[in-house]
Amino acid sequence: MAPRLNPLTTLTAAAAVLVITTAAASWVVSLTVAAGAVLLAGVTGAARRVFLAAGVILAPFWLSLLVMHGLFFPEGRSVLASWGPARVTTEGLGFAVDMGLRTSAFVLVLLLFSFSVRVPELVAALATLRLPPQFGYVLASTLMLAPIIAARLEKVRQAQESRGLVVGKGVGNRLGAVRLQMVPLVLGLVHDAGIRAQALDARGFRRTGPRTTYTQVRDSPAQRGFRIVAVLLAAAAVAVRIAASLSRGQA
Amino acid sequence: MNGQVSAAVTLRAAIESFAFHGDARPALRDVEIVAAPGSLIAVLGGSGSGKSTLGRLLGGWLAGGRDGKLKGRLELESVGQQEAWRPLVFFGADSDPQIDPAAWAEQVGYVPQDPAAMLSAVRATVEEELAFGLENRGMERAEMVRIVAETARRTGLASLLERDPATLSGGELRRLAVGCAIVADPAVLILDEPLASLDADGTRTLTELVAAELARGTAVVVLSQSADLLTRLAEPWLVLEDGAATAAGPPDRILAGEELASSGVVVSEPSGAPSGQVQQFAQAQSRARPAKDSVPALELDRVSFGFGTEYLGRPLLLENVVLDVWPGEIVAVTGPNGAGKSTLLRLFNGLLSPLRGEVRIGGEAIAGVPTGVIAQRLGLLFQHPHDQLFERTVLREVFFGLDRRFGASAPVRAAEALASVGLSAAGNVHPHELSGSGQRLLALATVLAREPEVLALDEPTVALDAHGLRRLSDAMTAAAGRGAAVVLVTHDLAFARAHAHRLVELRNGVLAAGD
Amino acid sequence: MSQPSLTLPTPGQQAGRNRRLLEILGAAAIAATFIYLVLTQPADIAGGLGSVSALVAMGGFLLGAVLLIVGVLPTLPTSTVVLIPVALVLNIVLGQLMGTSGLPFYLDSIGTVLIAVLAGPAAGAATGALSSIVWSLINPTVLPFAAGAALIGFLAGTAARYGLFRRFYFAPVAGFLTGIVAGVVSAPIAAFVFGGTSGAGTGAIVSAFRAMGDTLLAAITKQALISDPMDKAIVFTIAAVLVYALPRRTTLQFPFVRRYHVLAGKEPAKRNA
């Protein structure tokens, strides 16, 4: 990706694809979208992180779906096999595959977006949408806080072990250790937040007037046009789906 | 935003009293201060004297009503303005004026003790961080670029504009924090402990920065717990103790008086060495070296360590380090920043394991023993007390886990440990509401209560005021007196010379006997 | 050169009313979506994917959550806004850990409840909604649950407002009741958008109810009624422990805590340091 796209463009594209996929409600479309996301991830070089995160989320989800609907689907008619109360039905398996593919597409597309976007650019772009500035702050701060908090938890653990707080084996001991570590962690974070709030106020965070951004985010008429088309396509997909379901009665 | 000179504004404050919500006692009472253009004023006081509270009130960071009950008067007086600001008078009532922190900060900038607290922490580069306040004002981008460049020049950050603020050194971070305040070009600048934990280089650049601001006509107020190089340039001095001003006037008169010593301010000679400790140095040297028992309390036997040495081929941080510390001996480890002093301490109790060599406590190797178990014999105290305190009261904090080890004698031990650091009266206070000095001493007490054979302290003097330093030195002497070995890692050479039987220097990965 | 004012103007009425409107619209969108989903539910599962329900569930709940955020966020004091990221990290880290543990609990709302207790129902609701939206950047499956998360924050704040955090034993009770409501509201999302639940532990419970012949929504609702009240009772208890561990100077900084006397304790506390 030589010239970077505006984060709003990629966000709109991701959202439109998801709406269209949901409206289409067909495993073929879901599979195509998921495959497309995988392909794009490969091209942009985010593949490793996207697959890793998607695997962690989707593996238990698929397992849960297959057990749930593969074995127990009371609405199913064509029974393939049965053991006591458990019945494997074509309908159940089909439902599991439909839902699984749709969720896979959903997860892959959004992960591709979040792993390819640069957070400061996204925050700057969101600021132009006239969303409250607090929203951009919360988004950026959360993503930047995570590694800081992890490092801090490690420091708390080291300091406490050095003080002689031994982590025992039993569940009670573990829970006790979690309490001992959580309290200084949360206390420290809340304390820091209190001071940071005063600093932000002094730096004009609560001013109500218009704001500008120092970070420049690339945009172009072509990208603006694309965003409008994407939103229209998504709206059309929803409209078609609703019309279809109305004509079929209730579904 | 007026080119070379800031607008001539005088800040006059008369704080009758300020009490935080839930506190019966006011944190500040009867403090008056006048900051005139181009003048440097120092507010001196020990830990918990109310310096930071005063600084925050003056800078509009603490607000009457929201944070506590404020009675008094804040006034900005400007020369050459058609329409004067009206003084803000506070009665501690709901109808009091509410300061607009952003508008106030354009006149009075406050830089906190912890420079990281000044940052928005949502900006990826130094220049974006500097621009944060300008963005909130809705300034045109071209104007922002100009002011950011100008501020970077004033604070010496010009070559660091593209850096991630998280990667800056302590001195650079503090200059960035000052930059975030002066980007609005305030006429009054309040600096809270601006030299705290800066090395010689950082001290020099920050002192130059203050001098340049004074030359622009900015009024500068420095809050500090030590009469150091920067505060010695100031006049007048104001001494705070227990929230009240106990002395005010020219430095010479105050140095001659009693109030400074009583307030807990650390007084260093103009050369940099704390005066109170010079005599103690001789005293420490004259103490006999402890008789050598058969086994050292702590033994490092040709220990080597490096981060990522094994797999990434990075160089060793410590190489064949040999150190024997005998019972009753106090050893100070000194060395430049980044030499691996803190890493060395973490090897003592198994938080890190040596790549080669062996660590022994009382003759027994510690390899494979969990840190929490080693802690019964070796108490290690880190720099940040916040990380290890977790109880609701000071007494509970010291008492924690003692009963399991000492049974019926636990309450006595807890009380003794608190008494040894001078916190007996604070037993029911929340640890986080203690002063910075108090928190460090409390963390020390939790370790002392367990009477470890070895006491290892990481930069114990940082954030301690004069009272705290005395208590620390008493506690170290007492521990050595009952036969414990004490190892402290410090950049404070004067303190190390005054209290240690022996100095060792860590430089380029090896330990050498220091002077 | 005119002098800028150094004090804050009294807040304008019009702006406040617009924000209020957004909050009400947000709540209405969530309520309407829920009612629609419950009413159309029977026809759905037989019709296969139920894609209209999925669209309505996602669209309606997400719209409601976003309206709530836009309405509430600008009214919050900065001290609350800076605490929200801390709460979100707590939610996300604990939620992610529990999700992979196989236990039928979530523990993904400790931060939300913490904010709700300190800063009130509106702040709690905004935190809950934000939590889902930000978390979705690394785990997109939580996005549709934004409305449920907002509801938990709102209910926790309401419980704090009426003094349920003043007594330690009331906190788990309040959590239990919140869990019942939250479970019922979140179940349609799990059913229509994902066709099940994402955790292995919760999946097993749903399967058990399905084996007894329940419809998918009924099975998931029953599962939620088993997991959620217990989960929220635990979460409320942990939040109470954390809030009481904070120094009073910190908790009393929050006007909500001062005004409604949210936490037990003498006022002002006697200190002799």
pLDDT at C198: 63
- Average pLDDT (B261-266) is 90
**Per-residue pLDDT at B276 exceeds 60:** no
Position with higher pLDDT, C209 vs C119: C119
Give me the count of residues in chain C. Answer: 273
DSSP conformation class of B92: S
Q: What is the mean pLDDT of residues C122-134?
A: 94
Q: What is the pTM (predicted TM-score) of this model? A: 0.87
Q: What chain A residue is nearest to B120 in terms of C-alpha separation?
A: A200
How confident is the model over C204-215, as a mean pLDDT?
Answer: 83
Distances in whole angstroms, Cα of residue B319 to Cα of each of B326, B358, B461, C128: 22, 12, 27, 52
What's CA C207's distance to the chain center, in Å?
Answer: 27
Quick check: C271 and B429 CB within 8 A? Answer: yes
pLDDT, position B273:
47
pLDDT tens digits, one per residue of B462-513: 888 999 999 999 999 999 999 999 999 987 888 888 899 999 998 888 888 7
Contact A214 B386 (CB under 8 A): no
**pLDDT above 90 as % of chain B:** 53
**Do residues B131 and B142 touch, judged by C-beta distance below 8 A?**
no
- Closest residue on chain B to C253 (Cα): B67
B424, closest residue in chain C (CA to CA): C273
| Contact by Cβ (8 Å): A184, B432 | no
Nearest to C272 among B84, B425, B438 (CB): B425
Contact call for residues B460 and B490 (beta carbons, < 8 A): yes
- Please, is A147 exposed, middle or buried when counting C-beta atoms within 10 Å of its C-beta (0-12, 13-18, 19+)? exposed
Please state whether beta strands B454-458 and B356-361 pair in parallel, antiparallel, or not at all (unpaired).
unpaired
Q: Strand B318-325's sheet: what is its strand order?
A: B318-325, B298-305, B356-361, B364-365
Put simply, the answer to whether C139 touches A57 (Cβ < 8 Å) is: yes
* C268 cis-preceded (ω within 30 degrees of 0): yes
Which amino acid is it at B286? S
H runs (alpha helix) in chain C: 13-46, 51-72, 78-81, 83-99, 110-119, 121-135, 146-161, 170-189, 200-211, 216-245, 248-251, 255-260
How confident is residue B127, by pLDDT bands cut at 50, 70 and 90?
Answer: very high
Q: Strands B40-45 and B237-241, how do they pair?
A: parallel
Contact with chain A for residue B180, Cβ under 8 A? yes
Q: Which chains touch B (3 or more CB pairs under 8 A)?
A: A, C
- CA separation for the pair B34, C57 (Å, rounded): 62
Neighbours of B411 (CB within 10 A): 14
Q: Give, as one character, the DSSP assignment of residue B14.
A: E
* Other residues' Cβ atoms within 10 Å of the Cβ of residue B306: 18
How far does B340 lie from chain C, in Å, by closest CA? 32
CB contact under 8 Å between B61 and A202, yes or no, is yes
Distance of CA B294 to the CA centre of its chain: 40
Q: Is the pLDDT reported for residue B361 higher than 80? A: yes
Closest residue, chain C, to A51 (C-alpha) = C138
Hey, which residues 81-120 in chain C have their CB within 8 Å of chain B? none
CB contact under 8 A, A141 and B122: yes
- For chain A, how long is the longest CA-to-CA vector? 72
Is B100 in contact with C5 (Cβ distance < 8 A)? Answer: yes
How far lies C94's CA from each of A178, B88, C87, C101, C106, in Å? 12, 47, 11, 10, 8
DSSP 8-state assignment for residue C143: G
Positions in chain A whose pLDDT score sits under 50: 1-2, 250-251
Q: How confident is the model at residue C101 (pLDDT cuts 50, 70, 90)?
A: low
Task: With H, G, I as helix, E, B as strand and everything else as coil, classify residue B313.
Answer: coil
- In the stretch 112-141 of chain C, residues with CB closer than 8 A to chain A read 114, 130, 134, 136-141
Between A74, A182, A197, which is nearest C210 by CB? A74
C271 pLDDT above the threshold of 60: no
Closest CB to A201: pick one of B101, B121, B373. B101
Spatial neighbors of A132 by CB under 8 A, at least 6 apart, are C69, C70, C73, C74
Going from the N-terminus, what domains does chain B have, and what CATH number goes with each? 8-272 (3.40.50.300), 298-513 (3.40.50.300)
Tokens of B184: 């609005």
The amino acid sitting at B246 is: T
Residues whose CB falls within 8 Å of the CB of residue C130, separated by 6 or more in sequence, listed in order: A135, A138, C69, C84, C88
- Residue B280: band (very low, low, confident or very high) from pLDDT cuts 50, 70, 90: very low
Cα A37 off chain centre by: 14
**CA closest to B107 among chain C residues:** C6
Size of interface A-B (CB pairs under 8 A): 162
Q: Which residues pair with B249 in a beta bridge?
A: B237
B401: number of Cβ within 10 Å? 17
Helices (H), B287-360: 309-312, 341-348
Task: Name the DSSP class of B42.
Answer: E
**Position with higher pLDDT, B194 vs C203:** B194
Domain map (residue ranges) of chain C: 16-38+49-260
d(CA A205, CA A222): 33
Q: Which of A29-38, B254-263, B379-388, C86-95 has the weakest average pLDDT?
A: B379-388
**Res B288 pLDDT > 50:** no
> Which residues of chain C have a CB within 8 Å of the CB of B137?
none
CB C190 within 8 A of CB C228: no
SS (H, E, C) C211-250: HCCCCHHHHHHHHHHHHHHHHHHHHHHHHHHHHHHCCHHH
CB crowding B152-178: b at 16 or more within 10 Å, else e: bebbbbeebeebebeebeebbbbbbbb
Answer yes or no: are the C-beta atoms of B394 and B428 closer than 8 Å: yes
Cα–Cα dist B244/B254, whole Å: 16
Among chain B residues, the shortest Cα distance to A178 is held by: B390
Q: Residue C43, Cβ neighbours under 10 Å: how many?
A: 14
The answer to whether the CB of B349 falls within 8 A of the CB of B371 is: yes
Residue B305 has pLDDT above 80, yes or no: yes
* Burial C152-184, CB ≥16 within 10 A → b, else e: bbbbbbbbbbeebbbeeebbbebbbbbbebbbb
Chains interfacing with A (3 or more CB pairs < 8 Å): B, C
Does the pLDDT value for residue B347 go beyond 90? yes
Above 80 in pLDDT, residue B290?
no
What number of helices (H) and strands (E) belong to chain B? 18, 22
Percent of chain B with pLDDT over 70: 92
Per-residue burial over B55-80, b if 16 or more Cβ lie within 10 Å, else e, is: bbbbbbbbbbbbbbbbbbebbbebee
User: Which of the listed ranges A41-45, B268-272, C77-81 does the model predict with the highest average pLDDT?
Assistant: C77-81
Give the model's pLDDT for residue B41: 96
Per-residue confidence at B283, pLDDT binned at 50, 70, 90?
very low
Cis geometry, peptide bond prior to residue B186 (ω within 30 degrees of 0): no
Helix residue spans in chain A (DSSP H):
7-24, 27-44, 47-71, 90-116, 119-127, 133-162, 171-202, 221-247
Judge: B382–A165 Cβ closer than 8 Å, yes or no.
no
Q: What is the pLDDT of residue B2?
A: 42
From the list B104, B133, B129, the residue with the least C-alpha distance to B115 is B129
Q: What is the number of alpha carbons within 13 Å of residue B30 lying toward its C-beta?
A: 8
How does residue C220 score in pLDDT terms, banded at 50, 70 and 90? confident
Kindly report, residue by residue over B399-414, the tens digit of the pLDDT.
Answer: 887 887 788 888 999 9
| Contact status of B429 with chain A (Cβ, < 8 Å) | no
Does residue C99 carry a pLDDT above 80?
A: no
Mean pLDDT of B10-24: 92
Q: pLDDT tens digit string along C3-40?
A: 678 888 766 566 677 778 888 898 898 888 888 877 77
pLDDT of residue A245: 77
pLDDT recorded at residue C53: 78
In this prediction, residue B126 carries a pLDDT of 95
Taking the Cβ of residue C97 and every Cβ of chain A, the question of whether any pair is shorter than 8 Å is answered with no
Considering A58-67, A76-85, B15-24, B387-396, the range whose residues carry the highest mean pLDDT is: B15-24
CA distance B331 to chain C (A): 34
Q: Which residues of B are less than 8 Å from A156 in CB distance?
A: 387-388
Q: What pLDDT, on the 0 to 100 scale, is given for residue C105?
A: 78
- For residues C59, C62, C67 and C68, what is the CA-based torsion angle, rounded to 10 degrees? 150
